Structure 1
Amino acid sequence: MSDECHLCLLGLIALSSLLTGSSGVDDAHVFISSGENVRLSCNNALHDCKSTTWIYNNIFRHSETVELITLGIKKEDTERHERLSLGSDCSLNINNISKDYYGSYSCQQWTGENGHKLRPDGHVYLHVLHVSSSQTEISAGRSVTLFCQLYSSAGVSCDDWIRSEGIELFWVNQAGVKLTRSDSRYQISAPGHCISSLNTTLLNEDHNREWRCNVTQRDQVKTSVTYTVKSSGEKTSSLISFRPSYCQ
């Protein structure tokens, strides 16, 4: 191949990189259940964190980005600063995640407050799974509805993103068998791809019974929330435990 062709090929590769937004830093997707702690990796970090800035953005909830960490120092004027910390590897640690924390987190490297950006941004998309119950105290013979919702913001609506990425949200019993609408005991509805509700009437033998809401991507479980019924006298109280898993 001639030198001219080599130059042409290199030019096409560079142009393709610009058009596709390729920066050498891969975007990360983290799935977590509400109530858990999470660590967001900064995959463009330098040897120390004095140049590291973390910003948060959610196009569906905020019109502007929020600066959480500036040049290695935590901002004290943000509503969530008490839950944040910066790891020794410049990762962003968030304690006791709530559903409101979903969105896009970007790790940036700057020379100073008025300096220049040293590297392309590293983006982490945080997806939060949250389960709630229609009642806090329930008893045998009464019905209960569980709501499972995936809060996600990857630049598009959650429904659009789920369809394109092979994400599925569904309920399973304690044996791990997927619950379907054909089971007469359960009424399962899904008004959207990112939310599913499970309604059932509790039986006396439901003490310690578990139902779990799973999120999978191409059949791999990303995170789940387990709802366990605990009996206490004539009443049962609903307890929710969390079993997160991560995808980066």
Structure 2
Amino acid sequence: MVFISLLGLFLLSLTQAAAGSQLFDQSEVFALLGDDVTLPCRVPSIRSCSSVNWNMVEEFQSITEVVKAGAVTAPGGKALRLDLLKDCSLAITHLELHDARLYSCDIGTLNSSVSLQILEVTESSNPGVDTIELHCFLNTYRGYAPCNNKGIRIKWRSGDSKPINGDRFKVVNPSECFSKLIITKKLTDHHRKWKCQVTQDDTVKATTSYTTTIKGGIEEVFAAVGESVSLSCWATSSLGGKGGGKWAVGERTLTHDMSPHNGPFHVSEDSSLVISKVSALHAGDYTCSDSTDQQRGVNKVRLHTLDVTSEREPEGDNVTLACVLTCTKECGKDITLTWSGDSRNSWQSRSMKVNNLLTNSLFLPVLSMASDEYTCFVHRDSDVMASKKWHTANPLQTPAWVVLPLVLLICITGFYLYNKRKHPKDAEHEQSSVVMTPLYEVIQDVNNEDLQHQRQHKRGTTTTTDDFYDLLQAVN
């Protein structure tokens, strides 16, 4: 398609050169099917869009006029998806594959061109034995035709946008604009997501994804203990009634009034099975079928659970964190466990697999636990499927340390008031400089009043006996 676009651009240049026009700018716009895009008209000093024309290079190099003198003239239903904006750019909504063309904007003798390139992923209908073959390409660029776009690359990514690694995967790049991902098939590749990115000069321009479907496959789901998980039911008809999925775990049928291992769950409107609080005992193979149509088949979901436990040595010098993945059956070779956190120089870890349990133990000296959080991750191939956090118990953040200052404050206050009541005469010699609460300010004011009365009493001893007697009589 790029070759065709360049040829179309060459033809446009010849036509415009004959008319005395000048090519001002060339650019690319990358998009996905169904997107809305805006193609800029980069001709400078545009005074009015009423003089703007837009042309499109069709297949077999024919040129179609889509905008003339500021008005949309595209034929057929495409005109409904085109709009000339106030800055004279061309807007296209709900992109279709045949929209991937070379467009030209011209005003008088000046023009600019835009190559609209749509990124698409398809699955080969004739893969090799036990393989899945995905094709990612720009426009109709499916084969080995040369790609002349400089700086453009197509890259494959996993579901969480990380590079795909592993012996099961092989990437073939016939050209910069076309790439193949060949996957050695597994039943657990059912409903897995793969991403394809197009980059230009190492900048991501567009990303699209594709979900593989394996006949008789099993969808793998990973969930952390204590969290909620939803298992999708793909076997039910979209026209079925509310919650039409019939779920079972192993040989046991699940109903709304019971659940596996007495764990809480419910079936949602789309027939998904929701487990509100996952435990390690919920690991297992779940099946869902359409309760109204037994001919639709059964979809299978394999649930693995992830948990983190801690154990402190009797001497109290080390803490052992155990990250445990409980698999339905044996944990596959493509599944691994890793840790993240601080103080990595103090870590010692050990992985172990026993039956359906995969464990990664982390041995931490208590004094080196600088971080208050450690996280265990479960990986499948290149994807992070689930994680579980563990928090250190900082004694300064425990409830006992929060209450202790308040207890000390109450004890000190009680002791202070007790001494005040026991030794009232000493109050006149005390000058407290600490004001703790409004209550203590009131107590201090009362003490000051008592002290003033006592001082007045001392001064009154210098008066005559008659005066003191007269004062007593007045009080009585």
The TM-score normalised by the length of structure 1 is: 0.65
| Kept after mapping to 1: 8 A contact 2:104/2:113 | yes
Structure of higher RCO (CA pairs closer than 8 Å, 6+ residues apart):
1
**Residue 126 (structure 1) aligned with residue 116 (structure 2):** yes
- The corresponding residue for 1:52 is 52
Instruction: Sort the Cα spacing of 1:72 and 1:26 in 2 relative to 1 into closer, same or farther, 3 A.
Output: same
Secondary structure of 1:62's partner?
A: helix
**Residue 81 (structure 1) aligned with residue 64 (structure 2):** no
Deviations 1:21-73, CA, capped at 9 Å, x for gaps: x9583322111122211100112262331111100115xx2332110011111
- The corresponding residue for 2:64 is 66
Q: Give 1:213 shift.
A: 0.4
- The corresponding residue for 1:148 is 136
Unmatched segments (≥5 aa) in structure 1: 1-17, 110-116, 136-141, 237-248
| Kept after mapping to 2: 8 A contact 1:150/1:194 | yes
The TM-score normalised by the length of structure 2 is: 0.36
- The corresponding residue for 1:167 is 152
- Counterpart Cα distance in 2 of 1:184 and 1:107: 48
Letter aligned with residue 184 of structure 1? D
Q: Give 1:102 shift.
A: 2.0
Letter aligned with residue 137 of structure 2? Q
- Counterpart Cα distance in 1 of 2:207 and 2:25: 25
Letter aligned with residue 104 of structure 1? L
Instruction: Sort the Cα spacing of 1:202 and 1:100 in 2 relative to 1 into closer, same or farther, 3 A.
Output: farther
- Counterpart Cα distance in 2 of 1:87 and 1:235: 48
Unmatched segments (≥5 aa) in structure 2: 1-16, 214-218, 220-233, 236-297, 301-476
Any residues of structure 2 matched to 1:70-219 within 5 Å, and which?
70-78=68-76, 80-109=78-107, 117=108, 119-134=109-124, 144-151=132-139, 159-162=146-149, 165-179=150-164, 183-200=166-183, 201-204=185-188, 206=189, 209-219=192-202
Q: Give 1:207 shift.
A: 6.2
Q: Give 1:78 shift.
A: 4.6
Q: Give 1:149 shift.
A: 0.8
- Counterpart Cα distance in 2 of 1:228 and 1:209: 5
Letter aligned with residue 75 of structure 1? T
Q: Which has the higher helix share?
A: 2
- Counterpart Cα distance in 1 of 2:85 and 2:210: 32
Aligned-pair RMSD on alpha carbons?
A: 3.2
- The corresponding residue for 1:138 is none
- Counterpart Cα distance in 2 of 1:128 and 1:235: 33
- Counterpart Cα distance in 1 of 2:71 and 2:169: 50
Identity of aligned residues (%): 28
| Kept after mapping to 2: 8 A contact 1:146/1:197 | yes
- Counterpart Cα distance in 1 of 2:192 and 2:61: 43
Deviations 1:105-138, CA, capped at 9 Å, x for gaps: 11112xxxxxxx2x41011111211112347xxx
Secondary structure of 1:80's partner?
A: helix
| Kept after mapping to 1: 8 A contact 2:121/2:135 | yes
